[in-house]
Amino acid sequence: MDAQEAIKETVTSNPVVLYMKGSPKFPQCGFSNLATQILDACEAKYVAIDVLQDQDIRERSDEVQEAGFSGKNSHSRHRGSWHPLYGLGD
């Protein structure tokens, strides 16, 4: 499975997916830290993907963000990098 297929499967199989730098326990940037704090405070069930662990996922997730995703989504730009937070639930 290539990176684009993996992203599509992850996003369509989970109500909320956070592509972040680091992990929820050890975020590697301020936005990732804030996003996980907000999701945790809301007791949201989410899947976190560390884009620093897989260069293909990081590059392809940029392409997905630029092209848009067919489903509900929102994303934020922060200091020249983007951090999508996909919500496919209600």
Averages of pLDDT over each 10 residues, the chain, 90 residues: 85 91 95 95 94 84 58 44 45
- DSSP label at residue 33: H
pLDDT value of residue 62: 65
Other beta carbons within 10 angstroms of residue 53's beta carbon come to 11
Q: Where are the domains of the chain?
A: 3-87
Query: Rounded to an integer, what distance in angstroms lies between the CA atom of residue 69 and that of residue 40?
Result: 24
pLDDT value of residue 6: 86
Q: For CA atoms 48, 51, 55, 60, give the dihedral sign.
A: positive
pLDDT value of residue 56: 83
CATH number, domain 3-87: 3.40.30.10
The pTM for the full model equals 0.67
- DSSP label at residue 42: T
- Which pair of tokens denotes residue 63? 């392409």
